[in-house]
Structure 1
């Protein structure tokens, strides 16, 4: 899967100061909304928050993949963040999270949503990839590493 079709450099942030899950979800809304015509940052935030209420998207090993569906979205959009300091995300392993990949998809794209989540989870389960993402020194380096088909 070509992740550069979902993730753009302007939705990639390295070493973000995120003090809580809520603040991070708000930032994701601010970054994603301009790429989703007819969608506000609050719409994105609410979609992600509603999904989190069903159960945490913290998949373990310091990684979370918050995701949501939006009736107003016309295409899938992703946001990638690394955090300056790990935060509590209610992850399944009870460990704090410092890598966050958020995915927002149109309401009707169920199968694409699941395939994309699986591909991202597989990539973020590779220790060499997450190590490289954690070591990134800039937004551009983070973007390049993640979208590289051979993520280190």
Structure 2
């Protein structure tokens, strides 16, 4: 799977104004709701439930929030670049400014792990992260994450 198979430009936002982890997850949930015609509150609760198990802030200013959704929906990615870093309780205690959320159908456990691995691999590249942080538009952010 490639990033552009789970992420679309309309689910990629740059310079998002958010002040907290909760607000970032709400924004992600709203984008998912618009994209999938799914209840934003349900997505938000699923993301929060996963966060309660342990932070998805993986360090270096990156978080990969993820949750399972009904099998009625496809694997879906949502990527936001925060205007300013937010406290996310990341494993390195550093604030987060890049969040790549993944929603995966309940029955696709192995796909879930492969997708998380793909995103983690992409975001572990320091050059890619520099380009993502320098992106000024949604289109530029989408292009960097999908082609770098």
| Alignment TM class, shorter chain as reference | over 0.9
Question: May I ask how many residue pairs the two structures share in their alignment?
Answer: 148
Q: Higher mean Cα deviation, 66-75 or 14-23? A: 66-75
Any unmatched runs of 5+ in structure 1? Answer: none
Deviation at 1:35, TM superposition (A): 2.4
Distance 1:8 1:74 in 2: 15
Using the TM superposition, give the Cα deviation of residue 72 of structure 1 relative to its aligned residue in structure 2, in angstroms: 5.3
Give runs of aligned pairs for residues 62-73 of structure 1, distance below 5 A.
Answer: 62-71=61-70, 73=72
**Cα distance in 2 for residues equivalent to 1:83 and 1:108:** 31
Q: State the Cα deviation string for residues 29-87 of structure 1 (Å, max 9, x = none).
A: 110112224x2111111110100000000000000000000125420111000011100
Question: 1:104 is matched with which residue?
Answer: 103
- Contact persistence 1:67–1:102 (CA under 8 A): yes
Number of the residue aligned with 1:23: 23
**5+ long unaligned stretches in structure 2:** none
Partner Cα distance (1:84, 1:16) in 2: 5
C-alpha separation between the residues in 2 aligned to 1:55 and 1:103?
16
Which contiguous aligned blocks of 4+ residues in structure 1 show a shift greater than 4 angstroms? none
**Higher percent of residues as helix:** 2
CA shift digits 1:4-41 (9 cap, x unpaired): 1100111000011110000010000110112224x211
1:27, 1:62 → 2: CA distance?
Answer: 18
Tell me, yes or no, if the aligned pair for 2:65 and 2:99 is still in contact at 8 Å: yes
Give distance in 2, aligned partners of 1:55 and 1:18: 21
Calculate the aligned-residue CA RMSD, in Å. 1.0
Q: Which residue of 2 aligns with 1:5?
A: 5
- What TM-score does the superposition give when structure 2 sets the normalisation length? 0.97
The SS at the match of 1:10 is: helix
